[in-house]
C-alpha cells in the first residue's frame, strides 16, 4: 500500500478545464466550489426543468451552545455560508434555500422528527457520533435525506448500518483521521524510533473507535507497544490523572482524539504537568477543531494535529484562491478562522445541493427523495477544500490533512505548519472491506 | 502514587468548594437547590470578566515579586467574582425561595430547576453561547510554589488545595466561633425558638442562601482561572457530584462535605489509572458503600450545620 503524504500540487492542483468539466459548468456548483470567476458561458439546460417555485426548506442540528459549540458553531457558520452562496447564485435549479438551525444537545431524534414534521426537504447534522448512530434507523423510516456533518464513527456504515438509503455523511470517517495520525507520527519520528505509545481519548464511541484504529495502525506499521490508554469523560473537568500516567510511562507518542473544551483542557494540563517534556510527540486528529480557542502558549511543543478534510492554509492560499476567498469571507462575516468543522457544515450542504441540481438535469424535474438519494451515491463535487466524493457506502471521502500546531500572527490564531495531505485511498479501506480487516492486511 | 493523591486533593478541593455551599443551603434551609450548579457556572463567567479585566492591569509573572502580585490579583478577582453571587443569591432567596419553605419538596425541585434554566439563559444573554476562557492558567502556573512540594507539580493545583483547606477552616470558624454563625445554626435547629428570642429568620435565611451562592461562585471562579473554560451547562456534572459528596459526608455536615469531597477526589483519581472504566462509577460506588454502613452519611447532622 502507499502510505506517504501527497504534495499539495498532487492533491489539490486542478486546472480550470477540469473543474468546469467536473462540476458540469453549473453556476451553483462553481459557486460552492468557491470559484465563481471560472464560469464562462452560462448554460441553460435547467431552464425547461419542472421545478417548484417555493424555496427549499432545510434544517441543521448542531451544537450551538456550551462546550461542544467550539465545533458546532463552526458547522453552523459553514452551512450558513453555503446557503448564502447558493442563494446569491440563483438557488438550486432556480430554487432558493432556507436553513433553520437548532441546538443538537441530546435531542437528535426529536430534532430530526421535528424537521420532518415541518416538511423540511433535507436535514443536516449532527456533530455527535452517538447521535448520528441513534438517528440512522429513524432517517431510514422517515425517508427524508439527512447528510450528517460529522458523526464520524467508522463502524456506523461499515458494520452497524451497511445498507442504508437516505442517511449520508459528508465528513471523513474516523479511520481516515486515525490513520493519518499514524502516518504523520511515522513521518515525524520514523518507524524505528517509535517503541511505545499511549492514548487519552474521550470516553464514548468516537474516542474509543479512534484509539482502537490508531492502535491497530501504529502497531502494524511500527510494532510499537501500548503503555497506557485513558478515557476521560466527555466534557471532563480534569485530566490530570491520565496526564500523570502518561508522564510516568514517557511513551514516544501520545494519541488523543479529544476535541472542543477537552482539547484545550488536555493542552492546558499537559503543559502545566510537563507532558510535552515527557513525550516525543502528541498527535491529535481534531485538536485543531479548537483553533479559535487556543492561545499561543498552548501550541508550543511537539504537537501535531489533523484538520480532517480541510485546512484553510493548504494548499497555500496564494495558490488556491477558493480557500483564500473563503477565509476572508468567514473572518469578515464571523470573526473566526474556518476550521474543518466549518467545512463539515459547508460540505454537507454542498453535497446535497450539487446532487439535487444534478438530479434535476438528469430528470428534467425536481427529484423525489429516493431519486436524490441515488444521485448522492458516488456523487463527486468541489468545495474550497478540494474534491470530495460520497461513496456508495454513503460515507464522505476526501483528502486528510495533518500538520504541526503553530501560531499565525497574521490571523492571531492557531495554525498548522508543514501540512501533509493524505489521499483518501491511503487512509481508508477499499469499498466492501472493513477498516479493521484492511489494517490487519498491512 | 503521590502525584495521584495530590491530583485527588486538587479535585476534591474544587468539589468541596461547590458542595460546601450546597451543604450550607440544605443544612439550614432544607432546600435541595438544583440551581446550585448554575450559581457555580455564574461564578465562572463572572471570573472571566472580572479576573480577565484585573489580570490585564498587571504584568504577567516574570519573577517572584511579580508572581506574587499576579497571584494576589487573580485571587482577589476570584473573590470579587464570587462576591457577585452574594446579592444574586440573596435576591433569589428573598424573591423565589422564601414563599415555598412550607410547601412540599416537589415545589422546591420545580422552582430551583426553573431557576437553573433562567440562569442559563441569563448567562447566554450576557456572555454568549460559546465557552470563554480567562486565559490566566499558564501565568498562575508561573508562580514558583511547586518547589515547595519537592517535584514538578502545577502551582495552580497547589493553590486550589490550599484554598480548599482555607475555605473549610473559615466556614468551621464562622459557624463555630462567630455570633452570626451560631445564630444560623440555632435557626437551623429550631426556627420557632429562634424567632421567639428575636432572631429574624428571614434575614438569616437570606444570608445563608447568599453565603451558599458565594461559595458555589467561588468554586466556579477557581475552575475558570484553571485549565477549564466557563461554558453553559458546565454546572451539571459538578452538581451531581456535589450531591454525592454531601450524601457521603452526611447532609448538613460541613466536616462531612470536606471529608466526602476529599474521599471522592482521591478515590476517583487513584482508581482511574488502574481501572479506567470505573472513573465515573467510583464516586457512586463510594456513596453506596458509605450508605450501607452509615445510612446517615459519615457525619450526618440532618437539619443543622456542623
Round to whole Å and give the CA distance between A235 and A71: 13
Q: What is the tens place of the pLDDT at every residue in B132-173?
A: 988 889 888 887 776 666 677 888 999 899 999 999 999 989
Look at A264 and B234 and tell me if their CB atoms are within 8 Å: no
pLDDT band at B299 (very low <50, low <70, confident <90, very high): confident
Chain B interface includes A203 (CB < 8 A): yes
Q: What is the tens place of the pLDDT at every residue in B7-41?
A: 999 999 999 998 998 888 887 788 888 899 999 99
Q: Mean pLDDT, chain B, as a whole number?
A: 87
Label residue A49 exposed, middle or buried (CB < 10 Å: 0-12, 13-18, 19+).
middle
Residue of chain A minimizing CA distance to B224:
A237
pLDDT band at B183 (very low <50, low <70, confident <90, very high): confident
Q: Which carries the bigger pLDDT value, residue A49 or residue A310?
A: A310
Chain A interface includes B269 (CB < 8 A): yes
- The total number of residues shown for chain A amounts to 442
pLDDT band at A2 (very low <50, low <70, confident <90, very high): very low
pLDDT of residue B306: 56
Taking the CA of residue A253 and the nearest CA in chain B, the distance in Å comes to 18
pLDDT of residue B70: 87
Taking the CA of residue B13 and the nearest CA in chain A, the distance in Å comes to 12
Closest CA to B213 of B12, B54, B31: B31
pLDDT of residue A17: 55
Q: What is the tens place of the pLDDT at every residue in A374-406?
A: 999 999 999 999 899 999 999 999 999 999 999
Round to whole Å and give the CA distance between A174 and A176: 5
Across B90-119, average pLDDT: 89
pLDDT band at A19 (very low <50, low <70, confident <90, very high): low
Round to whole Å and give the CA distance between B10 and B6: 6
pLDDT of residue A39: 53
Q: Which of B154, B229, B234 sits opposite A273 (nearest CB)?
A: B154
Taking the CA of residue A54 and the nearest CA in chain B, the distance in Å comes to 33
Q: What is the tens place of the pLDDT at every residue in B212-255?
A: 999 999 999 999 999 988 988 888 888 888 889 999 998 888 88
Cell matching residue B221: 471562579
Taking the CA of residue A231 and the nearest CA in chain B, the distance in Å comes to 7
Looking at the predicted structure, is the pLDDT value of residue A314 above 90? no
Residue of chain B minimizing CA distance to A203:
B277
Look at B229 and A264 and tell me if their CB atoms are within 8 Å: yes
**Within 10 A of A378 (CB to CB), how many other CB atoms are there?**
11
Looking at the predicted structure, is the pLDDT value of residue A313 above 70? yes
Round to whole Å and give the CA distance between A117 and B178: 62
If contacts are CB pairs under 8 Å, which of residues 128-147 in chain B contact chain A?
Answer: 129-131, 133, 135, 137-138, 141
Chain B interface includes A242 (CB < 8 A): yes
pLDDT band at B267 (very low <50, low <70, confident <90, very high): very high
pLDDT of residue B78: 94
Looking at the predicted structure, is the pLDDT value of residue A14 above 80? no
Across A46-52, average pLDDT: 80
Looking at residue A191, the DSSP 8-state letter turns out to be G
Chain B interface includes A273 (CB < 8 A): yes
Looking at the predicted structure, is the pLDDT value of residue A25 above 80? no
Round to whole Å and give the CA distance between A248 and B54: 37
Round to whole Å and give the CA distance between B178 and A265: 40
Chain B interface includes A268 (CB < 8 A): yes
pLDDT band at A4 (very low <50, low <70, confident <90, very high): low
Q: What is the tens place of the pLDDT at every residue in A86-100?
A: 999 889 998 999 999
Cell matching residue B37: 450548579
The pTM is what?
0.88
Q: Is beta strand A196-200 parallel, antiparallel or unpaired with respect to A225-230?
A: parallel
Q: Which of B124, B237, B269 sits opposite A65 (nearest CB)?
A: B124
Where does A259-399 show beta strands of DSSP type E?
281-284, 303-306, 379-383, 386-390, 396-397
pLDDT band at A106 (very low <50, low <70, confident <90, very high): confident
Chain A interface includes B217 (CB < 8 A): no
For chain B, domain boundaries: 1-9+31-230
Looking at residue A6, the DSSP 8-state letter turns out to be B
Chain A interface includes B164 (CB < 8 A): no
Chain B interface includes A237 (CB < 8 A): yes
Look at A272 and B141 and tell me if their CB atoms are within 8 Å: yes
pLDDT of residue A119: 95
pLDDT of residue A3: 46
Looking at the predicted structure, is the pLDDT value of residue A8 above 50? no
pLDDT of residue B233: 84
> Which residues, other chains included, contact A126 with Cβ-Cβ below 8 Å and sequence gap of 6+?
A61, A62, A104, A108, A111, A132, A135, A148, A149, A150, A151
Across A215-220, average pLDDT: 95
pLDDT band at A15 (very low <50, low <70, confident <90, very high): low
Cell matching residue A76: 453552523
Chain B interface includes A440 (CB < 8 A): no
Look at A261 and B272 and tell me if their CB atoms are within 8 Å: no
Round to whole Å and give the CA distance between B176 and A394: 67
pLDDT of residue B103: 83
Find out whether A342 and A385 touch, Cβ atoms under 8 Å.
no
pLDDT of residue A123: 97
State the DSSP H helix or E strand holding residue A205, giving kind and residue range, or none if neither.
helix A205-222
Residue of chain A minimizing CA distance to B225:
A268
pLDDT of residue A252: 96
State the DSSP H helix or E strand holding residue B202, giving kind and residue range, or none if neither.
helix B201-224
pLDDT band at A319 (very low <50, low <70, confident <90, very high): confident
Contacts of B223 in chain A (CB under 8 A): 237
Look at B228 and A295 and tell me if their CB atoms are within 8 Å: no
Q: Which of A64, A67, A271 sits opposite B131 (nearest CB)?
A: A67
Q: What is the tens place of the pLDDT at every residue in B38-94?
A: 999 999 999 999 998 998 888 777 777 888 888 899 999 999 999 999 999 999 999
Chain A interface includes B126 (CB < 8 A): no
Check: complex ipTM more than 0.90: no
* Phi, psi values for residue A400, rounded to 5°: -105, 140
Taking the CA of residue A274 and the nearest CA in chain B, the distance in Å comes to 8
Q: What is the tens place of the pLDDT at every residue in A154-170?
A: 888 988 998 999 999 99
pLDDT of residue A418: 92
Q: What is the tens place of the pLDDT at every residue in A130-162?
A: 889 999 999 999 999 999 999 888 888 988 998
pLDDT band at A38 (very low <50, low <70, confident <90, very high): low
Among B131, B142, B156, the strongest candidate for a mutation testing the A interface, having the largest count of A CBs within 10 A, is B131
Among B121, B228, B233, B238, the strongest candidate for a mutation testing the A interface, having the largest count of A CBs within 10 A, is B228
Amino acid at each position: 500500500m502507499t502510505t506517504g503524504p501527497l504534495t499539495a500540487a498532487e492533491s489539490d492542483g486542478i486546472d480550470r478545464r477540469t473543474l468546469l468539466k467536473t462540476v458540469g459548468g453549473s453556476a451553483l456548483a462553481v459557486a460552492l466550489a468557491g470559484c465563481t470567476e471560472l464560469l464562462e458561458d452560462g448554460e441553460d439546460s435547467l431552464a425547461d426543468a419542472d421545478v417548484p417555485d417555493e424555496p427549499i426548506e432545510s434544517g441543521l442540528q448542531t451544537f450551538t451552545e456550551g462546550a461542544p459549540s467550539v465545533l458546532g458553531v463552526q458547522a453552523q457558520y459553514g452551512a450558513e455560508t453555503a446557503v448564502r452562496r447558493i442563494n446569491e447564485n440563483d438557488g438550486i435549479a432556480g430554487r432558493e434555500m432556507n436553513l433553520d438551525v437548532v441546538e443538537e444537545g441530546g435531542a437528535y431524534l426529536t430534532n430530526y422528527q421535528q424537521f420532518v414534521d415541518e416538511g423540511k426537504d433535507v436535514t443536516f447534522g449532527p456533530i455527535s457520533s452517538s447521535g448520528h448512530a441513534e438517528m440512522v434507523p429513524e432517517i431510514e423510516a422517515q425517508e427524508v435525506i439527512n447528510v450528517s456533518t460529522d458523526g464520524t464513527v467508522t463502524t456506523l456504515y461499515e458494520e452497524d448500518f451497511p445498507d442504508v438509503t437516505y442517511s449520508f455523511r459528508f465528513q471523513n470517517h474516523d479511520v481516515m483521521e486515525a490513520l493519518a495520525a499514524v502516518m504523520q507520527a511515522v513521518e515525524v519520528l520514523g518507524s524505528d524510533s517509535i517503541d511505545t505509545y499511549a492514548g487519552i481519548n474521550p470516553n464514548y464511541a468516537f474516542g474509543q473507535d479512534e484509539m482502537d484504529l490508531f492502535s491497530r495502525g501504529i502497531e502494524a506499521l511500527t510494532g510499537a507497544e501500548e503503555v497506557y490508554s485513558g478515557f476521560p469523560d466527555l466534557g471532563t473537568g480534569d485530566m490530570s490523572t491520565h496526564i500523570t500516567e502518561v508522564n510516568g510511562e514517557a511513551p514516544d507518542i501520545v494519541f488523543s482524539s479529544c476535541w472542543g473544551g477537552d482539547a484545550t483542557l488536555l493542552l492546558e494540563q499537559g503543559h502545566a504537568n510537563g507532558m510535552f517534556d515527557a513525550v516525543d510527540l502528541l498527535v491529535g486528529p481534531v485538536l485543531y477543531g479548537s483553533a479559535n480557542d487556543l492561545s499561543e502558549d498552548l501550541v508550543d511543543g511537539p504537537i501535531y494535529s489533523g484538520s480532517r478534510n480541510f485546512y484553510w492554509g493548504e494548499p497555500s492560499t496564494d495558490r488556491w484562491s477558493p480557500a483564500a476567498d473563503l477565509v476572508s469571507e468567514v473572518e469578515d462575516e464571523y470573526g473566526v478562522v474556518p476550521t474543518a468543522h466549518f467545512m463539515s457544515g459547508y460540505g454537507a450542504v454542498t453535497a446535497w445541493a450539487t446532487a439535487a441540481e444534478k438530479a434535476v438535469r438528469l430528470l428534467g424535474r425536481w427529484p423525489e427523495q429516493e431519486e436524490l438519494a441515488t444521485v448522492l451515491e458516488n456523487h463527486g463535487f468541489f468545495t474550497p477544500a478540494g474534491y470530495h466524493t460520497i461513496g456508495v457506502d454513503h460515507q464522505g471521502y476526501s483528502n486528510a490533512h495533518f500538520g504541526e500546531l503553530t501560531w499565525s500572527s497574521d490571523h492571531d490564531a492557531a495554525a498548522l505548519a508543514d501540512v501533509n495531505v493524505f489521499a483518501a485511498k491511503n487512509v481508508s479501506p477499499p469499498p466492501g472491506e472493513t477498516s479493521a480487516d484492511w489494517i490487519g492486511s498491512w | 502514587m503521590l502525584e495521584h493523591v495530590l491530583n485527588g486533593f486538587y479535585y476534591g478541593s474544587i468539589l468541596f468548594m461547590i458542595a460546601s455551599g450546597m451543604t450550607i443551603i440544605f443544612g439550614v434551609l432544607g432546600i435541595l437547590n438544583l440551581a446550585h450548579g448554575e450559581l457555580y457556572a455564574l461564578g465562572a463567567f463572572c471570573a472571566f470578566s472580572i479576573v480577565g479585566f484585573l489580570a490585564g492591569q498587571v504584568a504577567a509573572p516574570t519573577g517572584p515579586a511579580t508572581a506574587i502580585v499576579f497571584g494576589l490579583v487573580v485571587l482577589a478577582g476570584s473573590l470579587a467574582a464570587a462576591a457577585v453571587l452574594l446579592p444574586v443569591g440573596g435576591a433569589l432567596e428573598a424573591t423565589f425561595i422564601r414563599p415555598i419553605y412550607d410547601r412540599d419538596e416537589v415545589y422546591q425541585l420545580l422552582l430551583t430547576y426553573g431557576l437553573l434554566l433562567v440562569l442559563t439563559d441569563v448567562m447566554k444573554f450576557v456572555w454568549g453561547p460559546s465557552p470563554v476562557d480567562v486565559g490566566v492558567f499558564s501565568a498562575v502556573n508561573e508562580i514558583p510554589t511547586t518547589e515547595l512540594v519537592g517535584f514538578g507539580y502545577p502551582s495552580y493545583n497547589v493553590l486550589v488545595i490550599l484554598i480548599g483547606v482555607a475555605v473549610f477552616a473559615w466556614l468551621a470558624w464562622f459557624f463555630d466561633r462567630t455570633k452570626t454563625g451560631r445564630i444560623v445554626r440555632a435557626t437551623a435547629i429550631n426556627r420557632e425558638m429562634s424567632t421567639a428570642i428575636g432572631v429574624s429568620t428571614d434575614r438569616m435565611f437570606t444570608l445563608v442562601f447568599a453565603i451558599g451562592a458565594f461559595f458555589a461562585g467561588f468554586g466556579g471562579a477557581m475552575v475558570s482561572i484553571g485549565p477549564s473554560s466557563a461554558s453553559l451547562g458546565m454546572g451539571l456534572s459538578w452538581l451531581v457530584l456535589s450531591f454525592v459528596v454531601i450524601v457521603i459526608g452526611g447532609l448538613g455536615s460541613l466536616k462531612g462535605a470536606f471529608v466526602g469531597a476529599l474521599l471522592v477526589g482521591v478515590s476517583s483519581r487513584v482508581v482511574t489509572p488502574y481501572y479506567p472504566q470505573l472513573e465515573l462509577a467510583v464516586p457512586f460506588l463510594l456513596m453506596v458503600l458509605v450508605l450501607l454502613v452509615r445510612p446517615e452519611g459519615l457525619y450526618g447532622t440532618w437539619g443543622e450545620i456542623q
